[in-house]
């Protein structure tokens, strides 16, 4: 498990914010990813919430220099396999099931599994997972809740996602058990629809600066 954890951490440590994208039209994927990479955000999570998602992963993985394409909202082994086949270099799930963990165990591609309670974290630790997605972050108790897990569940690192914005990202990033946050605010629907790639690069640059 160690090497996959290292592989995942290498991706998550590239930047303080991992963009969480809902791509409605695959033709937007490449310019959108290029805009994010130009702002410093190389690891990109494309969620499997639209029919265009797998094609978007394929295009970003194949055509965007510097991008590390990942797939999110992976719910079952079929999703996992399709995302890996499309070129995903990391996989993100909102929660976990035994079937999904089994699919992940048989793959070289690392999984960032979702957890929201101490029991879920403990179960995933037992399976060898040290880096987890805390989801839905704000709704599940926010930075204060995550801070309270840092002592009893020491050694676990989180990427909180859900309800995070430029305003509250630092609350999470200042915690000792947070490696990065996931956020959709760096690629707002209206900027994507307008093809305002410069606007997205600006938001990505602001997000990248949160590391400081």
In sequence order, what are the residues at sequence separation of 6 or more whose Cβ sits closer than 8 angstroms to the Cβ of residue 200?
Answer: 32, 35, 36, 39, 186, 187, 191, 192
Which one is catalytic: 133, 167, 190, 202?
133
Query: Residue 109: which of 125, 130, 85, 73 has the closest Cα?
Result: 85
* Cα–Cα distance measured from residue 40 to residue 169, given in angstroms and rounded to the nearest whole number: 16
45 is catalytic: yes
* Cα–Cα distance measured from residue 91 to residue 78, given in angstroms and rounded to the nearest whole number: 13
Buried b / exposed e over 136-164, threshold 16 CB at 10 Å, is bbbebbbbeebbebbeebeebbbbbbbeb
Query: Could you tell me if 192 and 25 are in contact, meaning their C-beta atoms sit under 8 angstroms apart?
Result: no
81 is catalytic: no
Which one is catalytic: 7, 45, 130, 206?
45
CA dihedral (22, 71, 75, 128) positive or negative: negative
Kindly compute the dihedral angle of the four CA atoms of residues 163, 188, 173, 111, in this order, to the nearest 10 degrees. 80
* Cα–Cα distance measured from residue 4 to residue 19, given in angstroms and rounded to the nearest whole number: 21
Catalytic residue set: 45, 133
């Amino acid at each position: 498990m160690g090497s996959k954890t290292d592989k995942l951490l290498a991706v998550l440590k590239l930047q303080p914010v991992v963009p969480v994208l809902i791509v409605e039209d695959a033709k937007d994927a490449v310019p959108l990813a290029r805009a994010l990479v130009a702002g410093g955000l190389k690891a990109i999570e494309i969620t499997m919430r639209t029919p265009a998602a797998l094609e978007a992963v394929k295009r970003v993985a194949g055509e965007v220099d510097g991008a590390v394409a990942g797939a999110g909202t992976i719910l079952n082994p079929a999703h996992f396999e399709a995302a890996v086949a499309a070129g995903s270099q990391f996989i993100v799930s909102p929660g976990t099931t035994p079937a999904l963990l089994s699919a992940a165990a048989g793959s070289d591609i690392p999984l960032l599994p979702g957890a929201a309670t101490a029991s879920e974290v403990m179960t995933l630790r037992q399976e060898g997972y040290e880096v987890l997605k805390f989801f839905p972050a704000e709704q599940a108790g926010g930075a204060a809740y995550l801070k309270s897990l840092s002592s009893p569940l020491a050694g676990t690192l989180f990427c909180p996602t859900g309800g995070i914005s430029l305003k509250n990202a630092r609350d999470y990033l200042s915690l000792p058990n947070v490696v990065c946050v996931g956020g959709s605010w760096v690629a707002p629907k209206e900027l994507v629809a307008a093809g305002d790639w410069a606007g997205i690069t600006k938001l990505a640059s602001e997000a990248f600066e949160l590391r400081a």
